[in-house]
């Protein structure tokens, strides 16, 4: 990618409060096409909030969010600021597919229906085409034989892989992962880690919130350490994990499993 190509996601000076609680205090972050950017930091530092602001699931009060160079248009200011253009929000959100800690599969739909649902109902795509794509994606994440079962019949690792297939079926420009492995037992965690590594290897653009420092070190082009709503330190994974500069990052890393 040349420097001229605008980042897939670019956030500048983002401020976000819940009432009087300021959670993001001026955050800058960007992911270019093919970049894997990991967000690390203690619980409550604002990682999930940043991810949710990036795909406009949450409002923010100040700062800019750009998707492939296109700035989100706002109306109002401060706590009254909202996106001005519902069509733009929909377009951005459908291009930034999210994978959640708790999978969030629909319990009353089969695995195949879960993967097909949004492309058919939100994007209005042809059902047969979507089904063919969905089956391929379920194969790719290693659960092609689970198309017709209910989510409750799968292990956590299988459910999360189904959720990843569902996110991919939207053919998004970027994937946003919020602690995708932290609800899983260690042995199930690895099957999801493998899928995430494969996606990174394919050159997918990803924002990854994770507590798994080894995963962050292995897959990231860039790592961002958030502390109390600010970027305390950031850089390439080898530098950040190998030679952390700030006391806070040193402390944080000393409390996590070694990277
Ligand atoms: P992280 O993902 O890094 O653990 P979060 O982004 O979830 O952190 O939360 C950052 C801060 O915002 C925390 O203090 C949390 O309690 C608060 N917070 C998160 N979501 C809400 C909400 N919907 N309403 C009020 N406060 C919230
Ligand atoms: Mg979180």
Q: Cα separation of 61 and 28, whole Å?
A: 14
Cα 39 to Cα 78, 136, 207, 216, distances in angstroms: 25, 30, 7, 8
Which two three-digit tokens encode residue 39?
């967000």
| Shortest-distance atom of ligand 1 to CA 50 | 6
Q: State residue 258's pLDDT score.
A: 52
Q: Cα separation of 176 and 27, whole Å?
A: 17
Task: Name the residue with the closest Cα to ligand 1, atom 20.
Answer: 49
Q: State residue 230's pLDDT score.
A: 98
| Å from CA of 53 to ligand 1 middle | 12
Q: State residue 1's pLDDT score.
A: 52
Looking at all shown ligands, the one closest to residue 58's CA atom is: 1
- Residue carrying structure tokens 């929000």: 89
Cβ–ligand 1 distance for 41 under 6 Å, the answer yes
Cα 215 to Cα 11, 37, 209, 211, distances in angstroms: 24, 12, 10, 9
| Å from CA of 24 to ligand 1 middle | 10
pLDDT category of residue 129 using cuts at 50, 70 and 90: very high
Which two three-digit tokens encode residue 144?
């092609």
pLDDT at 3 over 70: no
pLDDT category of residue 151 using cuts at 50, 70 and 90: very high
3-state secondary structure 139-201: HHCCCHHHCCCCHHHCCHHHHHHHHHHHHHHCCCCEEEEECCCCCCCHHHHHHHHHHHHHHHH
Give the burial string for 197-223 (b: 16+ CB within 10 Å, else e): eebbeeebbbbbbbbbbebbbbbbbbb
pLDDT at 43 over 80: yes
- Rounded to an integer, the average pLDDT of 162-177 is 98
Q: Cα separation of 24 and 256, whole Å?
A: 23
Cβ–ligand 1 distance for 45 under 6 Å, the answer yes
- Rounded to an integer, the average pLDDT of 217-231 is 97
Task: Name the residue with the closest Cα to ligand 1, atom 22.
Answer: 18
Q: Cα separation of 166 and 129, whole Å?
A: 14
How much is the mean pLDDT over the chain? 95
Interhelix angle 156-169/186-201, nearest 10 degrees: 20
pLDDT, tens digit (0-9, with 9 covering 90-100), for 49-99? 999 999 999 999 999 999 999 999 999 999 999 999 999 999 999 999 999
Of the CA atoms within 13 Å of residue 191, those in its CB half-sphere come to 17
Cβ–ligand 1 distance for 47 under 6 Å, the answer yes
Cβ–ligand 1 distance for 48 under 6 Å, the answer yes
């Amino acid at each position: 990618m040349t420097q001229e190509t605008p980042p897939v996601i670019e956030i500048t000076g983002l401020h976000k409060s819940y009432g009087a609680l300021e959670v993001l205090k001026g955050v800058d972050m960007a992911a270019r096409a093919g970049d894997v950017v990991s967000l690390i930091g203690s619980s409550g530092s604002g990682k999930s909030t940043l991810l949710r602001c990036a795909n406009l699931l949450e409002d923010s009060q100040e700062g800019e969010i750009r998707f492939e160079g296109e700035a989100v248009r706002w109306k109002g200011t401060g706590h009254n600021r909202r996106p001005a253009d519902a069509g733009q929000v929909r377009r951005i959100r459908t291009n930034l597919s999210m994978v959640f800690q708790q999978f969030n599969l629909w319990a009353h739909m089969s695995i195949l229906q879960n993967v097909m649902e949004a492309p058919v109902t939100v994007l209005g795509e042809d059902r047969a085409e979507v089904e063919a794509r969905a089956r391929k994606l379920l194969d790719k994440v290693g659960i092609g034989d689970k198309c017709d079962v209910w989510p409750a019949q799968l292990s956590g690792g299988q459910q999360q892989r189904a959720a990843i297939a569902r996110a991919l079926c939207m053919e998004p420009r970027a994937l946003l992962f919020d602690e995708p492995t932290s609800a899983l037992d260690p042995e199930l965690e690895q099957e999801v880690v493998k899928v995430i590594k494969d996606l990174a290897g394919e050159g997918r653009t990803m924002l990854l919130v994770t507590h798994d420092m080894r995963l962050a070190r292995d897959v990231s082009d860039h790592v961002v350490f958030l502390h109390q709503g600010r970027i305390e330190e950031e850089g390439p994974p080898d530098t950040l994990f190998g030679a952390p500069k700030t006391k806070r990052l040193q402390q944080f890393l000393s409390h996590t499993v070694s990277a």
